Structures are given as C-alpha cells and as structure tokens.
Structure 1
Amino acid sequence: MQYRNPVLPGTHPDPTVCRVGEDYYLATSSFEYFPGVPLYHSTDLVSWTHVGHCLTRESQLDVTDTDSSDGIYAPTLRHHDGTFYLVTTFVGGGGHFVVTAEEPTGEWSEPTSLDAPGFDPDLFFDDGTVYLSYAHGPTLAETTVHVAPVDLDTGAVGDSRTLWEGIEGTFCEAPHLYEVDGTYYLLTAEGGTHTNHMVVAARGDSPTGPFEPCPHNPILSHRGHPMHPVSAAGHGDLVDAPDGSWWLVFLGVRQQGGHPGWHHLGRETFLAPVDWRDGWPVVAAGGPVDLVVDVESLPGDGGSPEPSAPARETHETFDGETLDGAFEFRRNPAEGAYSLDDESLTLRPRTASLDDRGATFVGRRQAHFDCRCSVHLAFDPAPGEEAGLALVADERHHYEVGLRGRENGSVALVRRRVGDVTAVAAERRVDGETFELTVDATPTSYRFAVEAGGGGETARDGPLATAAPRYLATEVTGLFTGVYVGPYVVARTGSSDHEEPTAAHVERFRYEPTEP
C-alpha cells in the first residue's frame, strides 16, 4: 500500500511520538504560538487527528514577550506506568520543564522545572531511574549531548556526563534514548536544521554510555540529494507497532524553486519505515524518503489512510463555544481581543499594525501549496482602522488583504511587509457592510481579492494584487516556523485609550485545499 508524506503538513517541526496499545500520540514544537505543543492521535501513523494542546493555560505557558522562533522547542512525549510525560524547553523563558497527564486529551499538569541547561530534552525510564538527556554547549554549533538522572517530582537533576559528541562535532542535538532487546540506542539530530540535517544512531550497554556509532551513519539524511523534493530531513523519533514493525517520524521541508530553493510552509512531519539489520536501524531501506511511500502494510486495521487534520478543509462558522482546534494565536491572546458572539468571531484591535507583537490575529497553518482561504467579514471602519485576512510569518514578514477606513469611505488594500520594507501593492474603493476577502495560493504566488457582499467565488473586478510566497520563506525570514493564515484587525495610529475602536466580526472562515 501507499501513503503520502508529509503526514502532518504545515508547520509541525521536531515531531515526537509514543504508542499506548494500538494508539499513537504525536506532539511537535510550537515556538511562540499559543496554545503550546499541538497533540495528535492516530491508529496507523499516517492519519492524524488533532486532539488538543498540552499547554493551554497561561500558568503553563506565558509567551507574551517571547521573540519569534523562541518559546517551546523540541518536546519529547513518553508514556510510563499509566502516565503521559511531556518534557520540553522554553527557550528565552524558564528552560526545561515537564508536564504530565493521565489522559492526554484532558488537562495537563502545571509545569515542573528541571534544573539543567540546554535544550531538546528527552526522558528515558529504565529500571526505576529516569534519565534526562539534552543538548548543551558554548554555542549552537558546539553542542554535545548530556545525560543525568532526574527526579520528576521535584525537578532536581543529578550529576551529568557527556553522552555523545556527534559524528562531525557540530550541531549535536535532539537526543532520544531507547532500549531494544536489551541494547540501548541513542538517536540524535546533527548537521544543523537545514540542508545538512541528519539523524544519527549509536548503541551501547547502558543508557549512560559509552555508545558506539552506527557504521552506516547518518541513518537518514537528504544532504546528498539537493534536487529531491524533500529537504532538511532530520530530528527523528522511533516507535514500534504492535505487529513488530518499526517507524521513524522526522521533520523535513518541501522545497520549491529547485536548488537552492525555498520553503514557506515550515518544517513538516514525515514518516518512514525502519528495518533492523545487524542490530542497527535502517530507515527507508537506506535511501531518501519520498513524498509517496510504498510499504507492505501500515499499523491499524489495514484500511486506506485518510489525510491528517491539518490537510483537511477548515470551515468555521463560529457558532460553537470554542474555536476550531486548527486555530492558534501568536503569543497569549489578550483578554477582550477575541470573543465568540452571535455566530461570529469578534476581533478587537490592540495595535496599529501587524508589525506590532500584540496585534489581534488568529490563524491556522498553511498546509498546502495550492489552497484558497477566505473570510466573510462585517466591518465598518473609522478612518485609519483596518481588518482583513493575513498571511503571517512574523512581525517583519507578512502579507495582508484588508479593508481600511478613509475620511471619504473605505478602501480594500493589499500590503506587503518583507524585512525593513513595507509597501501597499494596491488600493480600491469599496462600498458595503460585509465583504469576502480571499487569498488563492499556488507554489509561486498569492492572489488577493475582495468582494463586497461576499457572495461569489472571486472578486467581481478581479484580484487586487499578487505576492510571492518565497519572501515569507525561512530562507528569507530566518525563522523556524512557516506561514499562518487568518483574520486580523488593527487600530488607527494615535488612537486614544478613551476611544472605543471598531470591532471586526468574522462570520465565516474557510480554508480549502485546491491541489490537483
């Protein structure tokens, strides 16, 4: 049978997976986004359903002042003696911490801080001892892997020792420890997180080493395949299935534009089969991992796998008590800025532009190169006020199609912000009380349109403007995240705290894949 990669498209970096019976749970990094650490469930490792987030309360995660691409790095998810454990690092915040849950789809505990430096932590349970391993070094390029016993009740960490220095001596990170048939295995990510990324394996007789390197390291890397559609393959986590098969989840990017190319959907989660030969894991029969993978079978009931939640259409009419789980905020949402009222999402402005860290914006991951995203918006702006639909990488890299109030009425506009340059690409006078704002995406373009009344498929007068996705790509932004798309509202410049800004009412949000 076949399955398609990535199994979790859009920004889903640093995947970690654990199995409980016939159920698999997977979590990924979330950086500055809130809620933190999205959590997925599957029975076949291919079809993933979003079942919540591990960090849903400000007491667990306060990223209000977190820089872009700081925040939550590289979690490890494990299950032991009936309890789920998630350990991760708040970079730029409080360092390592662990949260627990008896039921992963319920509430997770308050964090317990772990007294150790570094990032990319892992937990390994062995014969009554819990080991914390992590990456640490004087610089990111000089990190090595360290291990120490840890008391998860108190957060106390014992004496540490260097566990692994890497096969090339640079960017040694993302350790995961396993025990397989009495032998201990260590997986690490090395080579940096871009085109030289790789997964490295080692084994030994103790979880504290010493470890011998696998003779065919790296066990996964696309560094020698610059034209392959999947690049930057690395940061893997192993899991076994009830049928005895083994699998690796790992991050990769789908690059566009040939070599060197670019990627704007972020680092995504991929899946590869694993064989064991001479006591070593062999990923994808030793070759590169393709977008379409042939395997004899998948775990589960053997049916055809369905697309994972991020790859499905989102059609939100805001008539429930909570937002669709696909939505996330850039940092903790400000009280009063977002509310569900009368079958609409009401957005209240807090800043003068999307360049500001506290802007009112909520979005879902762009998970397809070809897609359409639209909002049906009720908005009557005062001069200088604006609301619309935005594609956001961070505060310095975003595109938006919006409605802006002028002294003599409203205009529809498209704005591009790329680094230090901001420009309005197009403006058009519009009349009405409700509007449909649309972005049609392809691998090489975004097309922005506005229609008064919002009843048609496209704007009557054609697109307002276009923009190139590549300028929201990591190769330009330098970020660890990809593009999010969703509604926003901003206040007019110089508005007084005593003035009541105009709220925007989003009556419908739709995200539709349009890939052939």
Structure 2
Amino acid sequence: MTISTQKGTIRNPVLPGFNPDPCIVRAKDTYYIAVSSFEWLPGVRVYASKDLAVWEHCTDVLTDQVDLRGNPKNCSIWAPQLSYHDGLFYLIYTDVKSTKRPFKDVHNYLITAPSIHGPWSEPVYLNSSGFDPSLYHDEDGRKWLLNEIWDYRIPEGNKSSGIVIQQYDPQQQKLVGKPFKLFDGTDLKKTEAPHIYKHQGYYYLITAEGGTGSGHAVTVARSRSLMGPYEVDPRNPMLTSRDNPELPLQCAGHGSLIQTPQGEWYMAHLCTRPVEGQYALLGRETALQQVYWDEEGWLRLTAGGNSPQMEVPRPKGITPAEAKMAAERSLFEDTFDGPELAKAWNTLRIPADPSWCSLSERPGYLRLHSGESPQSLFHHHIVAVRQADIHFRAETSLEFEPASYLQMAGLMLYLNDENYLYAYVTQDEEQGKVIRLMRCAEDAFTVIPDMIPVNAGETVRLAVEVHGIRGRFYGRFSPGQDWVPLFEEQDIRFLCGGFTGNFVGIAVHDMQSFGGSYADFSHFRYTGIEA
C-alpha cells in the first residue's frame, strides 16, 4: 500500500519500500507499474491503479521461468519493461548471472500474455550485450529492441557505452539485422534504461544516467528519425536530485512515461528516502511526477525545475467520490489458514515449493523445512516481506525443537547474504533450547554471546521493532506474558546499500542435515508504526 494522500494529490513515493526501476504502462482503463525483483521470487512485481494515486499489488510474473540459484547478490532480475500493444502484454527482462568486472553476464528475454495475470509464454532469448532491454512498437508495425551496451574494453570507470537498437521479428521470435548504436550518452555517463516514445513527429529517447546513487538522473533526447541522430535536451537532466542533497526524494532517475485518457502525462521514476539523510533502508522506491511538453517540444515537470516533488496533482477525470485514500501505514498479516501463501511473501532464488514450504502438512501453520545456511545462494529457506515503513514492528510465533546448534529457526532482518540480523531458536550443548542472535554486517559475522533459555516443547513468540536506524528484538514465552526485550538494541545502518532493500521474514536452517528439521509458524504480522 502507499502512504497517505490528499484527495486532490498523489503523494510520493507511490510504491514505498523495495520497488526499483519502475516501468509504467496503461492498458485500457488501468495503469500498471512493473518493478525489478533481483534475487527475490516471484520475480517482476506488478502493481495496478485506476487513478495513479492508490496502487495495489496486482501480480508477480516470473515463477518457474527462471533459475536464480547461485546468482550473486544484486544480480538476477533487473529492470523489467512492460508494454501493451494490440491487446497483448509484452514483458522484457534481464537475468543477470554475474557482474564481476570487467564483464557482466546478462541475458535478456521476452515473454507475452493476453492478460497481466497470464498465462505468460515461454521465454524467448534475445541477447546478452547489455542490460535494461526495452521493446518499442513503431507505427509501421515493426518492433525494436533497445538495450544498454556494456564495453569491457574501457579501462576504468564507466563501461556503459550507450544505447543500441535492433529489430525484433515476432514471427521468427528472434532479433534480425545488425545492432545499431543509437546514442552515446551525455557527460553524465552510465547511460542505461532506454525507452522510446513518439510524440508530435519526434522520437523521444528517455534514458537513466549518472548511476543509481546520488548522481542519478533522467536524460531526454529526440530525433525526427528512429535511427537518429538524437539531440539532447538543452536543459538536461530533465529530472534529478543530484544538485540538492536536502530533497526528501533522492536518487531520482530511471523514468518511464504514461499518457492519461484526458491527455495528461506522468513519469514514473526511481527514488530513495534516506533515513537521517544517509541510509536507504527501504531500498529504492517508486515515485510519480506530472510532466508536460513545453512550446519547444521538450519534457518538463509541471512543478517547474527538475527536482522530484513529494506531491503532484491527480489526473483529471477522477471525481471526489471515485478518489481513494491510500493507507497511512503498511499492514500485512498471515495466519496461514489458506491453501496458498499470501502473495506479499517472497523467497530467495528458489520458488516456495511445497516440499519445503508447506501449508498442508499441519493445517493452520506454515511448516518450513530447513535449508542451507543463512548465507546460501542456493537453498536459503526464508519467506519474507519488504520493509515499507521507516518505523515498523513484525511478530511471529513458532514451534521448533532443535537437536543441535547447527539447527536454527526464527525471525530475520535481511538485506543480502552479507548483511542480516537473525534472532533464532537453537540448541546449546550446556543450556539446551535457547534463543540467540547472529549479526552479519558487511560480511563481518558475529554470534552475540547472550543466550535466552527456552523450555523444551514451548512455543516461542518473537518480534522485532525498527525505528529508523535502530532495531530491537523481543520475546514472549506464554500468551499472557508481556513482551520482553532480547539482547541489546542494534544499529542497523548496515542493512542498506546495493540494489535491493531490507526484508523481514521467517526462516529455518540446518547445517547438520539438509531438510532434516522443520519449524511450524502459526502467524506473522507486519505493521508500520509511529516514530
């Protein structure tokens, strides 16, 4: 859910938490935004809206089409591009296998579906020359693939050397002809995320430049011919936060456009809201800006300048009766009494297969069978949800009887395999069943010496409460007991950075016997709270 809005405005970010690289499209009377999912499955989360202000999680596209096992952190599914043409949805995405310099192993695919809910076709492999692919449907019926091109020969720094274009033949389901260098980029460098739009006789090429950090920006160029040459907006960049570190929305870039039925234009773009001005714990989020074409045919913010705004006007044609209010704070709860996992859940690199993630083995509970270690890139058995609020609380209840210190189950704050906090139930040779805390911060691993004894056979209730850069775990060992703090308060600034955002979830691990133990979880609740 989004944060609160006034009835006449859209309040940013419209997609809080880890929702980066947005691609917006309109199909009939519904708007959709597809975002990157990286190593989390299901892949390519899609949100839907009728008014651009209130967005709901609609579907996730990639389930069994991809194999992400072994992919390093910050790799896997990058920058999906969603388009709708002649009654068909087209989704282009990159599966990144490695980013180890000087190379990038990136494979681009296309799938189609008659409905946003599928069924989706089998993936068609396109190319591997660069990431951020995009499909342009030209007025003459031809289709063109664009992507950033990666040049490993460049000795230092930026290796994104521009944008290439190549024709795609839907009958043959392959690229035809030769790739053509369309755009070299500007002095902002790191040119990526291309999209083409045709407006009033011009082809407009919109790209992201400046990297995905504080220098991120949207660049606009245009040409009378699809193949160029492209003239860069003389006031470039069109959108950025790079010149004002005090703006509440930082890292603005990676834009895509939509036109409403009433003729208004909006741009979806990536942004962050750094806690204390530095720590993007929620990851890269999605915002909307209202834009227009000026008298010279260049794209401008209706608010003026090129800085992202926290509030923008809603589109015309939405009556007060139709206008909805978004939730002020996020709320998610699962009591595991349905036939399937709630769609808000995510897993790491592998789908939530019933062989390890079962709602049927013990009705009313989620039984998680143990996977490999918390740092596994193959079988990390965790289910988690995005942190969508700067301040939040998450609670769960589990039954688990470990036989060894090598077996553990509990509640995690997880950024990636090098950065996480884990309050877990395990076995100690001297004290028996205990609760412990492990911390991995920038790949520096620590097990906190303190241990909290737990009676054998006892249900354990765990909670974590986060306020900005501070987090603390809590426990409760009988239904009537108050929650008691566990361990010391933790500085969680290390749970930010990279391309993803912080997740909170439940997990089971066993380094003694793979799949040899399990835990039963009776509920999970995440709620945004006041500071």
> Is the pair's TM-score, using the shorter chain for normalization, greater than 0.5?
yes
**Matches of 2:460 and 2:239, distance apart in 1:** 48
Matched, 1:135 2:148: yes
Superimposed CA distance per residue, residues 294-330 of structure 1 (whole angstroms, 9 cap, x where no aligned partner): 4264664444443379x63111011111111111111
**Matches of 2:147 and 2:315, distance apart in 1:** 34
SS for the counterpart of 1:10 is coil
- Compared CA separation, residues 111 and 296, structure 1 to 2 (3 A): closer
Q: Which residue of 2 aligns with 1:511?
A: 526
Whether the 8 Å CA contact 1:236–1:250 is kept in 2: the answer is yes
**Matches of 1:132 and 1:455, distance apart in 2:** 61
Q: Which residue of 2 aligns with 1:427?
A: 451
Q: Which residue of 1 aligns with 2:87?
A: 82
SS for the counterpart of 1:321 is coil
**Matches of 2:115 and 2:266, distance apart in 1:** 24
SS for the counterpart of 2:425 is strand
Counterparts of 1:338-353 in structure 2, within 5 Å, are 338-341=357-360, 342-351=363-372, 353=373
Q: Cα offset for 1:181?
A: 2.5
**Matches of 2:421 and 2:176, distance apart in 1:** 45
**Matches of 2:299 and 2:324, distance apart in 1:** 25
Q: 1:105 aligns with which of 110, 117, 133?
A: 117
Q: Which residue of 1 aligns with 2:468?
A: 443
SS for the counterpart of 1:441 is strand
**Matches of 1:299 and 1:443, distance apart in 2:** 38
Q: Which residue of 1 aligns with 2:392?
A: 371
**Matches of 1:72 and 1:198, distance apart in 2:** 22
Matched, 1:68 2:73: yes
Q: Cα offset for 1:268?
A: 0.5
- Compared CA separation, residues 193 and 294, structure 1 to 2 (3 A): closer
Counterparts of 1:381-400 in structure 2, within 5 Å, are 381-384=402-405, 385-400=407-422
Superimposed CA distance per residue, residues 445-492 of structure 1 (whole angstroms, 9 cap, x where no aligned partner): 111111113556x52x33433212211110xxxx2101111101111x
**Matches of 2:317 and 2:94, distance apart in 1:** 31
Matched, 1:314 2:332: yes
**Matches of 2:121 and 2:50, distance apart in 1:** 25
Counterparts of 1:235-384 in structure 2, within 5 Å, are 235-258=254-277, 261-278=278-295, 279-283=297-301, 284-291=303-310, 293-295=311-313, 297=315, 300-302=318-320, 303-307=322-326, 312-333=330-351, 335=353, 336-341=355-360, 342-351=363-372, 353-357=373-377, 358-384=379-405
- Pairs aligned (count): 499
Give the counterpart letter for 2:68 in structure 1. Answer: V
- Compared CA separation, residues 176 and 131, structure 1 to 2 (3 A): same
Whether the 8 Å CA contact 2:252–2:269 is kept in 1: the answer is yes
SS for the counterpart of 1:119 is coil
Matched, 1:188 2:207: yes
Q: 1:230 aligns with which of 242, 249, 262?
A: 249
- Compared CA separation, residues 64 and 300, structure 1 to 2 (3 A): farther
**Matches of 1:308 and 1:177, distance apart in 2:** 34
Counterparts of 1:8-23 in structure 2, within 5 Å, are 8-23=15-30
Give the counterpart letter for 1:129 in structure 2. Answer: R
Whether the 8 Å CA contact 2:410–2:423 is kept in 1: the answer is yes
Q: Which moved more, 1:367-376 or 1:379-388?
A: 379-388
**Matches of 1:155 and 1:32, distance apart in 2:** 27
Q: Which residue of 1 aligns with 2:3?
A: none
Whether the 8 Å CA contact 2:402–2:408 is kept in 1: the answer is yes
Q: Which moved more, 1:186-195 or 1:409-418?
A: 409-418
Give the root-mean-square deviation of aligned CA atoms.
2.0
Q: Which residue of 2 aligns with 1:52?
A: 59
Q: Cα offset for 1:169?
A: 5.8
Superimposed CA distance per residue, residues 418-444 of structure 1 (whole angstroms, 9 cap, x where no aligned partner): 123222334211225212110101112
Q: Cα offset for 1:155?
A: 1.7
Q: 2:39 aligns with which of 32, 35, 38?
A: 32
Give the counterpart letter for 2:10 in structure 1. Answer: Y
Give the counterpart letter for 2:283 in structure 1. Answer: G
**Matches of 2:21 and 2:327, distance apart in 1:** 17
SS for the counterpart of 1:290 is coil
Q: 1:470 aligns with which of 493, 506, 514?
A: 493
Q: 2:516 aligns with which of 482, 501, 507?
A: 501
Q: Which residue of 1 aligns with 2:441?
A: 418
Q: Cα offset for 1:377?
A: 1.1
Superimposed CA distance per residue, residues 400-435 of structure 1 (whole angstroms, 9 cap, x where no aligned partner): 111112234211122211123222334211225212
Q: 1:197 aligns with which of 190, 205, 216?
A: 216
TM-score, normalized by length of structure 2? 0.90
Give the counterpart letter for 1:252 in structure 2. Answer: C
Give the counterpart letter for 1:221 in structure 2. Answer: T
**Matches of 2:316 and 2:399, distance apart in 1:** 47
Superimposed CA distance per residue, residues 176-214 of structure 1 (whole angstroms, 9 cap, x where no aligned partner): 000112221110000111000000101111222111111
Superimposed CA distance per residue, residues 40-82 of structure 1 (whole angstroms, 9 cap, x where no aligned partner): 111111211112111121xx11101211111111111000000
Identity within the alignment, % = 35
Give the counterpart letter for 2:56 in structure 1. Answer: T
Whether the 8 Å CA contact 2:106–2:128 is kept in 1: the answer is no
**Matches of 1:514 and 1:72, distance apart in 2:** 31
SS for the counterpart of 2:460 is strand
**Matches of 1:455 and 1:208, distance apart in 2:** 70
Whether the 8 Å CA contact 1:49–1:308 is kept in 2: the answer is no
SS for the counterpart of 1:210 is coil
SS for the counterpart of 2:304 is helix
Give the counterpart letter for 2:12 in structure 1. Answer: N
Q: Cα offset for 1:290?
A: 3.2
Whether the 8 Å CA contact 1:8–1:308 is kept in 2: the answer is no
